[in-house]
Structure 1
Amino acid sequence: MFCKIWVTSALCAVALSAPTLTYSPGAAERPAEMQILSEYFSMLGQKVQAGRNMAAAPVCNMNSAVLPVASPTPLPAVSTGLSLKHVAIGRGTQNYSCTTGNQTAAPVALGAVATLYNATCVASTYPDLLSILPNVALQFNLTSPNQASLSPSNLAISGHHFFSNATTPDFNLNTAAMNLGFAPCAKNNTVPAPATAPKGQGGVGNGAVPWLKLITKDGATGNLEEIYRVNTAGGQPPATCAGMPTTFEVQYASEYWFFEKL
């Protein structure tokens, strides 16, 4: 499905095109946010320059992609017999509720909504670039849940993430361009995000949501078996409901790794 491609050419197009998302309000006044973007474009420039000296295109080989490992406590390993099928950057919101009148209560998670963007070839070819994409994507505001590409990377939509009920995260990877399957899931394991994980837009927020291992439920298609949420950025609510509305959203981004049984 993913064969030899000119990843470097795609990166050149990114470097020369204007972002399709607007910066979050007041970005220029937040040095941390500008530093994140500066780091991304600097790394991107290095990749483009190196690509100009390549004799042949890089190979988009999923066998060379390595799932990030949380430290100091890793998630359980991918089950034997599974192969990597897809990698996506998820960009959306974690959703919460608060009980009216109870300011000391902790917000209750209501699930999440995110658009998924195809990062499979970036994962196999430029893992260092992939690792900072969630934080970079978090600095740009989504203008619609069907936004065609993820700025500033210009990654194309590969699916959507949502909750069908309070305990079932769903991933729909069936799009006009790709037909990778649908996966209702259950949480298998969770570990805290690393202490250095991005807290929120511009470096301001309550922290990054945990890393997860999910397993698919009955009804999954496309041979999808396990999904990992790693390299999370933002998404955590405040510790209490003090000053918060009945329902609210917290911006987040993440890598999602999808594994199938062949």
Structure 2
Amino acid sequence: MARSSCGMTLWLDVASERVDASASRWRPARPPALSFASACSGTHALGRVKVLPTDPLHHPRMKMISSLVFLALHALAASSTALKKGDCPLDTSVSMHIPANQTALVQPATAPLFVALGVGFQNYTCNAAGTFASIGAVASLFDLSCIAHKKAFNTVAARAYDAWVAAPPGVSQTYIGAEVGVPVLLGFHYFIASPLGTPGAINAKWDFTSTGRFKGDETAFVVGAKVGDIPAPPPAVDAVTVDWLMLNGIPNFDALAAQVFRVDTVGGQPPTSCVPGTDTTIEVKYVAKYFFY
């Protein structure tokens, strides 16, 4: 915001999308607005940009403000372009903050290849013992690389989960990614029959072959086998939050990455009991970060 000697004020108004749960509908964002307000004269609106009734560029004080307008628009455009295409540089400072005093999950020494926000469902079935057993998960994966060095990276999973659980039926994961500022879809996460040949077993797959910059590349996926897990550390609540995981890529199914980590989980745990024959399968919303190495 800039202010001139006669009370001129410039501001940039950026509104985000949000869920209007009470109205059971998704309310889209307003486009950004640049506004001028002056104590010396009124304001007029031209589209989403308000301008003074006289040519402001002839005002000696307006050269500075005009420059600020240009810089604000340039920064907004640059940021928007980066978020739209994703694939921003990642380095070793982008880490998972794995808890100390445990060996189940080990932070790699290299920079991650990709960092994604998973928004989706953990799936469960009620077994004969009256408890829910996992039958996999499905999620959309959004590119986090362009916010990985920003403060928003630390809170994006919690913010996405809040938006996801508040979203009315019919709202897709794509809207949640846009809501929290990570609209670029990298791919999808789901489970497949185990390529290791174990009868009835399933393994997690992260698939980038059908969308984004890897669309059409049939090798852009990894199927993982779990090699370590820990309960989600505080402040997560064990009763409602799924574990953090380390998975190794299965040979010949690991062209995308050699390792995958699931961290910063929110939600995803089923109820503690069920009624066999009555409660069959359920899906529980969850959000997590996935690091690929």
Equivalent residues in 2 for 1:97-246 (5 A)? 97-99=125-127, 102=128, 105-123=130-148, 125-126=149-150, 128-139=151-162, 140=164, 141=167, 143=170, 147=174, 150-155=177-182, 156-165=184-193, 166-179=201-214, 181-197=220-236, 206-242=239-275, 245-246=279-280
Q: Which ranges in structure 2 are unaligned for 5 or more consecutive residues?
A: 1-11, 25-70, 83-87, 194-200
Displacement of 1:214 after TM fit? Answer: 0.7
TM-score normalised by the chain length of structure 1: 0.67
In structure 1, the gaps of 5 or more residues are: 1-11, 28-50, 200-205
The offset of 1:147, in angstroms, is 2.7
Alpha carbons of structure 1 residues 66 and 138: separation in structure 2 relative to 1, 3 Å: same
Q: Say whether 1:91 aligns with 2:119.
A: yes
Whole-angstrom distance in 1 between the partners of 2:244 and 2:207: 20
1:146 Cα deviation from its structure 2 partner: 6.8
Q: Secondary structure at the match of 1:16?
A: coil
Counterpart-to-counterpart distance in 2, 1:252 and 1:120 = 20
1:76 aligns to what SS in structure 2? Answer: coil
CA gap 1:144/1:17 in 2 versus in 1, 3 angstroms: closer
Deviation of 1:78 (Å)? 3.9
Query: Identity, % of aligned pairs?
Result: 25
Supply the distance in 2 between the matched residues of 1:163 and 1:252 (Cα, whole angstroms).
16
For residues 84-138 of structure 1, give each alpha carbon's deviation from its aligned partner in whole angstroms, at most 9, with x where no partner exists. 1100100000000013xx5x52211001000001101212x11x42222112111
Match of 2:66? none
State the 1:144 CA deviation.
6.0
8 A Cα contact 1:115 1:145, kept in partner = no
Q: Which amino acid aligns with 1:251?
A: K
2:17 paired residue number: 18
Do the aligned partners of 2:126 and 2:275 also contact (CA within 8 Å) in 1?
Answer: no
1:68 and 2:97 matched: yes
CA contact (8 A) 2:140 2:187 kept: yes
**Partner of residue 58, structure 2:** none
Q: Distance in 1 between matches of 2:176 and 2:185?
A: 6
Does the C-alpha gap of structure 1 residues 24 and 117 become closer, same or farther in structure 2, counting only changes over 3 Å? farther
**Which amino acid counterpart does residue 92 of structure 1 have in structure 2?**
G
Deviation track 1:19-66 (CA, whole Å, cap 9, x = no partner) reads 3xx356799xxxxxxxxxxxxxxxxxxxxxxx97xx9x8995411312
> Hey, which bits of structure 1, 4+ residues long, moved more than 4 A?
23-27, 57-60
Question: Alignment partner of 2:229: what SS?
Answer: strand
Partner amino acid for 1:18? Answer: E
C-alpha RMSD of the superposition: 3.4
- CA distance in 2 between counterparts of 1:196 and 1:24 reads 26
Q: CA 1:254 to 1:184, structure 2 compared with 1: closer, same or farther past 3 Å?
A: same
Q: In the alignment, is the contact (CA less than 8 A) between 1:114 and 1:145 conserved in 2?
A: no
* 1:38-57 superposed matches below 5 A: none
| Alignment correspondent of 1:40 | none
Q: Which has the higher Rg, Structure 1 or Structure 2?
A: 2
Residue number in structure 1 paired with 2:285: 251
Q: Deviations over 1:161-180 (max 9, x none)?
A: 00003430000023442228
* TM-score relative to the length of structure 2: 0.61
Higher relative contact order (CA 8 A, sep 6+): 1
